[in-house]
Structure 1
């Protein structure tokens, strides 16, 4: 917590964006998605129960995504070549992922009410696929940007593992969208792939935020290097 946050009244402090709130938002949202798609448990909950958990989890995702976008900084930076400015990878990653979370809000809300094949495809699968593609693009941008700045295989850094695990989660969500494609008879193309992809992706997103939770940095000795400090920023 920064000095500026400490000086704010506790009720108002709740609305101050921070990396800690961002991490917890993604972790809680991921937990809801993981429970809703967990092998065996999803059958017990049924589609209605799972859809309700996804609906709740999506709102935590969206809140965390907006915090991440707010904390990502300026949209662009000046460069020495044409056109003179370049979009920052950190902002592009946050913006793309935030768009994806909103698409998941649309799909999970629609899933609670869809009663026809047409509605399931148009209002559920289409935005779900759009959200998954947005997540995948954000994961690719983050991975490339991190590799460019800090090295492709930086296994000693928590931030590297966060970016890598987040990328795996994005791939799993994309696979889930493929499996969830609505066939003309109203069934999913591959229900197992849809559920397992969602479950694996949710666990990856939870872990990606957990390992860079600022709590771990505060529990370490104060004599840290500049490279260590970079681990405090989530780069999904």
Structure 2
């Protein structure tokens, strides 16, 4: 299979941006009140589907060197991409490979959340657990992404676009984790641990992912320009 590298990167960015935007919108109380719980739930489902599509394409990109090692000319040429790969020693690949099943867990949790009148036990089993598992995988993936672009985990490289993306996504993953923990339904009261934290964590976490996805465009342009300069030298 072949794909134009710049189109593949742009598609990944747009899918992540749309998915993030759905989670941002869905977590706004005014939107939920105006549209109703079912429409709000569908918004999350749609967002999770875009996340999954973007995540899989990012995995394909991570395991296809021909899709990233490009200059101004070759970024427009169809390059061979690998739909399946095994690169456990590549931190970028590990980040993408761990992130993908995380998005699948979000698919499960958002679809399960559409069920009405679920008991606390059912909500925790079919909604909260997949959400928690997905959040854990996102967090682990984000750590590997930081390690992939930094000399050291706590190195400070604000001029690097990949460094910015990795850290803003890590912040988003932390916020999603906080939201997942706060979303546990306590069996004794049928109430969430913290509704406010669950909503805020989802909203601001999705905002972080939206920013991270938008930064993929200038990151791509800078890396292509650097490759072009190196080729011309």
TM-score (normalizing by structure 2): 0.79
Q: Which residue of 1 aligns with 2:97?
A: 95
Unaligned 5+ runs, structure 1: 7-15, 77-85, 230-236
Give me the whole-angstrom Cα distance separating, in 1, the residues matched to 2:109 and 2:101: 13
Give me the whole-angstrom Cα distance separating, in 2, the residues matched to 1:71 and 1:149: 24
Residue 198 of structure 1 and its aligned partner are, at CA, apart by: 0.3
TM-score (normalizing by structure 1): 0.78
Give me the whole-angstrom Cα distance separating, in 2, the residues matched to 1:147 and 1:226: 19
- Contact between 1:17 and 1:67, CA under 8 Å: does it hold in 2? no
Which deviates the most, 150-159 or 169-178? 150-159
Unaligned 5+ runs, structure 2: 64-84
- Contact between 1:36 and 1:45, CA under 8 Å: does it hold in 2? no
- Contact between 2:102 and 2:134, CA under 8 Å: does it hold in 1? yes
> Superposed, which structure 2 residues align to 1:66-85 within 5 Å?
66-73=56-63, 74-76=85-87
Instruction: Flag as ranges the 4+ runs of structure 1 deviating above 6 A.
Output: none
Change (3 A) 1:60 1:194: same
Residue 17 of structure 1 and its aligned partner are, at CA, apart by: 7.5
Whether 1:50 and 2:52 are equivalent positions in the alignment is: no
Give me the whole-angstrom Cα distance separating, in 2, the residues matched to 1:5 and 1:93: 23
Q: Which residue of 1 aligns with 2:123?
A: 120
Whether 1:181 and 2:171 are equivalent positions in the alignment is: no
Give me the whole-angstrom Cα distance separating, in 2, the residues matched to 1:183 and 1:107: 17
Per-residue CA distance 1:84-123 (angstroms, 9 max, x = gap): xx52111110011101000000000111125322221111
Give me the whole-angstrom Cα distance separating, in 1, the residues matched to 2:153 and 2:62: 18
SS in 2 for 1:225: helix
Give me the whole-angstrom Cα distance separating, in 1, the residues matched to 2:226 and 2:10: 21
Give me the whole-angstrom Cα distance separating, in 1, the residues matched to 2:40 and 2:19: 13
Give me the whole-angstrom Cα distance separating, in 1, the residues matched to 2:115 and 2:126: 10
Per-residue CA distance 1:13-46 (angstroms, 9 max, x = gap): xxx9711111111100000000000254344444
Match of 1:208 among 208, 212, 223: 212
Per-residue CA distance 1:40-78 (angstroms, 9 max, x = gap): 4344444323211101100000000110111111523xx
Give me the whole-angstrom Cα distance separating, in 1, the residues matched to 2:60 and 2:156: 28
Give me the whole-angstrom Cα distance separating, in 2, the residues matched to 1:5 and 1:178: 40
- Contact between 2:183 and 2:195, CA under 8 Å: does it hold in 1? yes
Give me the whole-angstrom Cα distance separating, in 1, the residues matched to 2:150 and 2:114: 40
SS in 2 for 1:213: helix
Residue 5 of structure 1 and its aligned partner are, at CA, apart by: 3.7
Give me the whole-angstrom Cα distance separating, in 1, the residues matched to 2:153 and 2:173: 21
